[in-house]
Structure 1
Amino acid sequence: MDAQQAGEGGGGRKFQRVSDDLRARMTDGTYPLRSFLPSERDLAEEYGVSRDTVQRVLRELANEGWIESRQGSGSRVVKTQRIQSSAPKATRSSRGATLGPFISEAFERPEVTLDVYTLTSESLDAHIRLQVERIRGGFIQPQRIALRMLLPSELLALPYPRAKDDEDDERPAQRLRVISRRHTDSLRSLLKDLLTEKLVPSVDVEIRHVPLVPAFKLYLLNGDEALHGMYEVVERQMELDTGEVITALDVLGLGATLTHHVKNTDWNSPGSVFVGSMQAWFESVWSRLAD
Structure 2
Amino acid sequence: MTTSTGGLLRAHVRSLTVRGSRTRVLDVGTGPVVLCSSGVASALWDWAPLVALLRRGFRVIVVDRPGYAPGDEVPPQLPELAEEAEHLLAALDACDVTGPVTAVGHSYGAAVVEAAARLHPERIAHLVLLDGSVPEAEGTHHGDVAARAAHAFRHRTLPWALSRRTRAVWSVIGPTVAELLVPGRRGLVRAIPGVREEARDGSPLAQTLRELAGYRSCMHQLEQLRLAAPLDRRLPVLVVAANGRIPRPGLSSWVRYVLGQARDLADEARVARRVVRRSGHFVMLDQPRAVAALVAEAAKGSTAR
TM-score of the pair, normalised by structure 2: 0.30
Larger Rg: 1
Higher helix share: 2
Higher strand share: 1
TM-score of the pair, normalised by structure 1: 0.31
